[in-house]
A and B are shown apart, each in its own frame.
Chain A
Amino acid sequence: MIAIIDYGMGNLRSVQKGFEHVGHEAVVTREPAVMERASHVVLPGVGAFGDCMANVTRFGLVEPIHRAIQSGKPFLGICVGFQLLFTESEEFGCHKGLGIFPGTVKAIPLSDDVASSYKIPHMGWNTIHIEKPAPPLQNIDSESYVYFVHSYYVEPADQELPSTHTEYGVSFASSIWKDNIFATQFHPEKSQTVGLQVLKNFGEWQ
């Protein structure tokens, strides 16, 4: 059973329905005991980094998230849930993250020419260039299209961490993979067949 962590930020129904659509049982929970029993854990998230981290803390989820990661069970971070894994974010002042990986969350630089195509947020379908084929990316072609909506990107200190890169003004890590942790800046639950394949693969990941 997959536990989707509910800390009061964002649309968790889509993530849950996405897993169910590809045959994986998934529950939305903020109970540490349920996260402990789960075979897989998902940290989603939309909105501002600081608000997300504040809610994770308020609901007493910092320790349970660390425990889930240390237990070695497959762990998926999505969007702000991906960003939270890093040291800190520059969004609306400096905010500390969970610090699983060293790295900073930075604003996508705005191009000087406002008439150019670089609008912020980076919103829509963009390609992922696969550098390191993480298990959840099985059967997914490099340069597949996935759905993004974000204004900040992750700059990991460890250059080996990114699993895919995407270009938008900067070349940024659109997903990372290390051991049991896979995390995406894009939204698999909104990325139609490609995204559902990621969710399917993640649920099958041991």
Chain B
Amino acid sequence: MLTKRIIPCLDVKDGRVVKGVSFVDLRDAGDPVHVAQIYDREGADELCFLDITASHEQRDTMLDVVVRTAEQVFMPLTVGGGIRTLEDIRRLLEAGADKVSINTAAVQEPEFVKAAANRFGSQCIVVAIDAKRAAGGEDDVHGWQVFTHGGRNTTGLDAVRWAQRMMDCGAGEILLTSMDQDGTQDGYDLPLTAAISDAVTIPVIASGGAGTLHHLYEAFAQGKADAVLAASIFHFQTYSIGQAKSFLAEQGIPMRPGTVPVSTA
């Protein structure tokens, strides 16, 4: 049986992990490769790096991170952040990424998603959608709009329809972040996640708001997500991947068994 996935996500800036990862037993908690290795050992199902490097010139540092990660970690790796051209995608895939996540560039140029899927295959094209509760957009139907630039810029696009459109353009997966819930640790936006999961036939990754293991459960059970993305609850070792998986399996969510943490200090 296909299992639901747990995907830890690291924010990476200039090649270093930001948004405090506090692994006490880690040689260098700022090195994404070391953090990736820990998650690998704990049995994470995939990894996600989000490049928040401000300047385009610095982006080669991310390629180096991807190269070094792919040498050490043999699990699927998605890289997002600032991807604008087919050449950006080619270089990341060549470095060892398995999927790329496209956000702003998709909103600015939906045809870019189509071109990327045609060139590299839908399996490696993830479209990231930042959605926020907001009524009254020009094609608002469901009550959530697509935002860009970390929730600052509205697009007027209905998030559910946008997800369907991206699927039609060849996206292989949707990474759905609730901008209302992101950072709150109050739980995922379940109605949003369910609305999009019901509207598309491609997998949906829920993101934004995880604070407890029960929140992960809700994202699968009520949000109908295929995968959950989480940062803080794993980075601060509130819970290990293994604990999350045991809990979810007990609740009846199909899970690939995790492993016990390599060391707990």
A119 x B74 contact (CB < 8 A): no
Contacts of A147 in B (CB 8 A): 75-76
Q: Determine if B121 and A46 form an interchain contact, defined as CB atoms under 8 angstroms apart.
A: yes
Q: Which residue from chain A places its CB closest to the CB of B203 in the assembled complex? A: A119
Is B121 a contact of A123 with CB atoms below 8 Å? no
CA distance A127 to B3 in the complex (A): 9
Which residue in chain B gives the minimum CB-CB distance to A146?
Answer: B256
- From the candidates B95, B97, B197, name the one contacting A115 in the complex (CB within 8 A): B197
Q: Are B201 and A114 in contact (CB under 8 A)?
A: yes
List the one stretch of A7-15, A33-41, A61-69, A81-89 in contact with chain B. A7-15
- A124 adjacent to B5 (CB under 8 Å): yes
Asked whether, in the complex, the Cβ of B94 is within 8 Å of the Cβ of A149, the reply is no
Q: Is A17 an interface residue (CB 8 A)?
A: yes
Who on chain A is nearest to B204 by CB? A119
Q: A122-B2, A124-B45, A192-B40 are in contact. Are A14 and B74 (CB under 8 A)?
A: yes
B96 touches A14 (CB 8 A): yes
Q: Is A125 touching B45 in the complex (CB atoms < 8 A)?
A: yes
Among candidates B1, B95, B124, B198, residue contacting A46 with C-beta atoms closer than 8 Å: B124
Contact with B along A121-155 (1 / 0, CB 8 A): 11111110000000000000000010111110000
By a CB distance below 8 angstroms, the chain B residues around A191 are 74-75
CB contacts between A and B, total, < 8 Å = 104
| Interface contact A125-B5, CB-CB below 8 Å | yes
Chain A CB within 10 Å — which of B2, B93, B120, B200 has the most? B2
Do A47 and B121 touch (CB < 8 A)? yes
**Chain A residues within an 8 Å CB radius of B95:** 13
Q: Which of A17, A46, A195 contacts B70 (CB 8 A)?
A: A17
**A18, A114, A123: most-surrounded residue (chain B CB, <10 A):** A123
How many angstroms from the CA of A121 to the CA of B198 in the assembled complex? 15
Interface residues of B in 43-95 (CB under 8 A from A): 43, 45, 67, 70-71, 74-76, 93-95
Question: Is B227 positioned at the interface, with any CB of A under 8 Å from its CB?
Answer: yes
Interchain CB contact under 8 A, B76 and A168: no
From residue A168, how far is it (CB to closest CB) to chain B in Å? 6
Chain B residues whose C-beta falls within 8 Å of the C-beta of A192 in the assembled complex: 40, 43, 74-75
Which A residues are in CB contact (< 8 Å) with B202? 119-121
User: Which residues of A lie under 8 Å from residue B2 when comparing CB positions?
Assistant: 117, 122, 124-126, 148, 168
B4, B172, B201: residue with the most chain A Cβ atoms closer than 10 Å: B201
Query: Which residues of chain A have C-beta atoms less than 8 A from B121's C-beta?
Result: 46-48
Inter-subunit contact B1/A126 (CB<8 Å): yes
Q: Is B123 an interface residue (CB 8 A)?
A: yes
Cβ 8 A contact of A124, one of B74, B96, B227? B227
Q: Are B172 and A189 in contact (CB under 8 A)?
A: no
Contact present for A11 and B74 (CB under 8 Å): no
Taking the complex as formed, is A110 at the interface, i.e. its CB lies under 8 A from any CB of chain B?
yes
Q: Report the bound CA distance from A205 to B200 in whole Å.
A: 43
Distance in angstroms from B70 CB to nearest chain A CB is 6
Residues of B within 8 A of A190 (CB): 74-76, 98
Chain A residues in contact with chain B, CB under 8 A?
A: 10-11, 13-14, 17-18, 21, 46-48, 110, 114-115, 117, 119-127, 145, 147-151, 167-168, 189-192, 195-196
Which are the 4 A-B pairs with shortest beta-carbon distances? A47-B121, A125-B256, A145-B256, A119-B203
Binding site for A on B (CB under 8 A): 1-5, 40, 43, 45, 67, 70-71, 74-76, 93-98, 120-124, 172-173, 197-204, 224, 226-227, 256-257
Known contacts A124-B203, A125-B5; can you find 11 more A-B pairs with CB under 8 A? A10-B93, A11-B93, A11-B98, A17-B70, A18-B74, A46-B123, A46-B124, A115-B198, A123-B123, A123-B172, A191-B74
